[in-house]
Amino acid sequence: MSKPHPQIDAAVFDLDGTLFLGKTLIKGALETVAALRKSGVKTLYLTNAGTRTRQGVADKLAAMGFPTNANEVYCGSYILARYILDKHAGKTVFPVGEPGLSEELRRNGIGVDESGKDCDIVAVCLDRTLTYDKLGRAHVLLRKGALFLATNKDHIFPTETGTMPGAGAIVAALEFSSERTPYVVGKPNPMAFELMKAEHGIDCGRAVMVGDRLDTDIAFARNCGMKSALVLTGNSKKADIGDLKPDFVLDSIADFLKKIR
Ligand SMILES: [Mg+2]
């Protein structure tokens, strides 16, 4: 049987800065993903963002025009839930995050206590509802020895109007005050690839990671042995490319089918 594509069976797409910026689609994103799906290339989505559930991300993608099943989405909240189930089952989590984080943890059967009383784990992701009180509760738990987990340490995230402080800025505040270091489950940690392999049978040698950040997306691809494509529509610029070289550099996702063939 002929392969759907000469080089790849699967394409894993980062979201912000790769397929869209905030609410604005990047030109060519819909057409590229649709053409790959039509040809039989598996398309998966990998984002460090932990503000939504896996289903919530799939719904957002579908509303933007990317028909998506929840099981094709690997987002920070889901990766974190799977890590806790695997390594720290039975423990209770104090979430520093938006409602989507707590909901994803609960959907996976993980105990969540927003009061922070007697929690064993502090789990941090981007939180646009952050208050000093929440930060304080997390700080107290960390000083008492709670496990410190984070979806990612992205310092910023791109929006249509420029950058905003990322989850890493919140993690940094807690690292500084508690003098603790978190375990980070999102990219470049290759953990999500293990989940993709188990759930979709992805072969790393025939999969490409497409993203806009060298330190997360391209580093993730290297850590998993995947091919990598950097798009120049988000965080990293061509001049930023150093020792960590992507296999492909695309002005934008619109060039994917022209350059990767
Ligand atoms: Mg991105």
Which residues make Cβ contacts (< 8 Å) with residue 1, sequence separation at least 6? Answer: none
Contact 155, 112 (CB under 8 A): no
What's the 154 CA to ligand 1 centre distance in angstroms? 9
Average pLDDT value for residue range 227-253? 96
Q: What pLDDT is recorded for position 239?
A: 95
- Distance in Å, CA 113 to ligand 1 centroid: 30
Identity at 218, one-letter amino acid code: I
Distance 119 CA to ligand 1 centre (A): 31
**pLDDT over 60 at 1, yes or no:** no
Catalytic residue among 9, 14, 120, 154: 14
Cβ(63)–Cβ(89) below 8 Å? no
Determine whether 59 is an active site residue.
no
DSSP assignment of 20-53, as one string?
EETTEEPTTHHHHHHHHHHHT-EEEEEE---SS-
Residues lining ligand 1 (ion), CB within 5 A?
14, 16-17, 212, 234
Q: What percent of the chain has pLDDT over 90?
A: 90
Angstrom distance (rounded) from CA 110 to CA 7: 39
Residue 145 clears pLDDT 60, i.e. is over it: yes
- For the record, the structure tokens of 97 come out as 């995050």
Domains of the chain: 10-48+187-259 (3.40.50.1000), 77-184 (3.40.50.1000)
The rounded percent of the chain whose pLDDT value lies above 70 is 99
Long-range contacts of 175-179, Cβ-Cβ distance < 8 Å, separation of 24 or more: 177/135, 177/139, 178/139, 178/142, 178/143, 178/148
* Tens digit of each residue's pLDDT (9 = 90 or more) over 29-81: 999 999 999 999 999 999 999 999 999 999 999 999 999 999 999 999 999 99
Determine which one of 16, 120, 154, 212 is catalytic. 16
Average pLDDT of the segment spanning 178-200: 97
| Ligand 1 centre distance from Cα of residue 22 (Å) | 11
What is the rounded distance in angstroms from the CA atom of residue 57 to the CA atom of residue 64? 11
Binning pLDDT at 50, 70 and 90, where does residue 124 land? very high
**Section 226-254 average pLDDT:** 96
How close is the Cα of 105 to the center of ligand 1, in Å?
23
Total-model pTM: 0.95
pLDDT range class, residue 4, cuts 50, 70, 90? confident
Cα 40 from Cα 38, distance rounded (Å): 5
Cα separation of 125 and 167, whole Å? Answer: 5
Residue 212 is a catalytic residue: no
What confidence score (pLDDT) does residue 162 get? 85
Give the Å distance between the CA of 211 and the centre of ligand 1: 6
User: What is the Å distance from ligand 1's center to 213 Cα?
Assistant: 6
